[in-house]
Amino acid sequence: MNIQKSFLEDEKNKGCLYLVGTPIGNLEDISYRALRILQEVECIACEDTRQTRKLLSHFQISTRCISYHEHNKYASGKEIVRLIQQGKDIALVSDAGLPVISDPGNELVQLAIESNLSVIPIPGANAALSALIISGLYTNHFLFYGFLPREKKDKKEKIQEMLETRGTIIFYESPHRLLNTLNLMLEVWGDRRISIAREITKKYEEIVRGSLEECISYMEDMKVQGEYCIVVQGNIEKVEKKDELWWSLLSIQEHLDHYINQRFDKKEAMKKVAIDRKVSKRDIYNHLL
């Protein structure tokens, strides 16, 4: 068991590891707290020191940078923990967004916890959640997968494993693999609602919403470039148990939206919700007021 009291005085005078969120595009998205921490720490552990120095230079921060990435994470991690044990505060950043999410850092966090050191989050931008909240898809239950395997066979197997997933599913994908991934999703899952976001917060931000077939058709005629975040409707109508109702995870509003998205008018949609839930239409109406 490990209990962390993040902001109480530590009699051993240890430092701490800060996980600092950085902008995913627009530099104005960094917080005042993040800037202060980046100025005050002993050094900043970076996925790519060149990328981080661009950010630091913009905000006139001169804190020393050290390298922490996939290829040196074990050796570098031990050194970072040693510095923290000596009382030095260290910040970990990725090239963009929250560190540790589809980026190096999880091993460092585990090592710090095992060493009884404080790990403190400094919240910031995140591409996956940003793409989710603008997708128009359900947000009450979701699965963040990150990057799918590169090999087609392995990728198809992972997509197949998520066939029964009922929550919205979020992926990251590179431009040159995007169409291949979308076509595999269509092949395995059928035609679902989807939102594809690229260059979030940047000048060329673009969000494509529609069915998988519609989005594939659109992308085939476009120059696919930039990093993509794919948000896909889950299998909300799949009955996992014989006595389980497909709408059981949905709020009444989401239940109503489901039928409206199938092109029922609001009156007819409310009627169908009432029938599903075995209540009166007036009960649904009163709940939505």
List, for residues 241-289, the tens digit of each pLDDT value: 444 577 777 888 888 888 888 778 888 888 888 888 888 888 887 787 7
- Rounded to whole angstroms, how far apart are CA atoms 130 and 116? 33
Which structure tokens are listed for 114? 């095992």
Q: What are the Cα distances from residue 49, in Å, to 27, 52, 63, 94, 121?
A: 17, 5, 12, 9, 20
**Per-residue pLDDT for 105 more than 90?**
yes
Q: Which amino acid is at 85?
A: Q
Within a 10 A sphere around the Cβ of 220, how many other Cβ atoms?
11
| Tokens found for residue 34 | 């993040």
What amino acid is encoded at 89 in this protein?
D
Q: Give the C-alpha separation, 277 to 100, whole Å.
A: 41
* 192-242 tens-digit pLDDT: 999 999 999 999 999 999 999 999 999 998 888 888 999 999 987 654 444
Give Cβ neighbours of residue 222 (< 8 Å, ≥ 6 apart): none
Query: Phi and psi at residue 103, in whole multiples of 5°?
Result: -145, 160
For residue 12, give both structure tokens. Answer: 């051993």
What is the model's pLDDT at position 238? 57
* Rounded alpha-carbon distances, angstroms, from residue 198 to 100, 182, 214, 226: 21, 15, 17, 6
CA distance to 23, 100, 138, 191, 197, per residue, from 20 (Å): 10, 10, 28, 38, 24
Residue 11 has pLDDT above 80, yes or no: no
What residues does 84 pair with on adjacent strands? Answer: none
DSSP state of 148: P
- Check residue 22 and give its pLDDT: 97
What pLDDT score was predicted for residue 9? Answer: 66
DSSP 192-231: -EEEEEESTTSTT-EEEEEEHHHHHHHHHTS---S-EEEE
- Angle at the Cα of 24 (from 200 to 34), degrees rounded to 5? 140
Structure-token match 């969120």, residue found: 21
Domain layout of the chain by residue ranges: 16-125, 128-232, 252-288
Q: Does domain 128-232 have CATH number 3.20.20.70?
A: no
Phi-psi label, residue 175: left if phi above 0, alpha if psi -120 to 50, beta otherwise: alpha
Q: What is the pLDDT of residues 70-104, one digit of tens each?
A: 899 999 999 999 999 999 999 999 999 999 999 88
Q: What is the pLDDT of residues 147-187, one digit of tens each?
A: 999 999 999 999 999 998 989 999 999 999 999 999 999 99
Q: Which fold has domain 16-125?
A: Cobalt-precorrin-4 Transmethylase; domain 1 (3.40.1010)
Question: Residue 258's pLDDT is what?
Answer: 86
User: Apex CA 29: angle with CA 26 and CA 32, to 5°?
Assistant: 140
Beta strands at 142-147 and 118-122: parallel, antiparallel or unpaired = unpaired
Q: What pLDDT is recorded for position 10?
A: 59
Tell me how far apart the alpha carbons of residues 289 and 286 are, in angstroms, rounded to a whole number.
5
Angular region, 243: left φ>0, alpha ψ -120 to 50, beta rest = alpha
Within the chain, residue ranges assigned H as helices are: 32-40, 49-58, 73-85, 106-114, 127-133, 152-161, 178-189, 212-220, 252-260, 266-277, 281-288
Nearest to 282 by CA among 264, 273, 260: 273
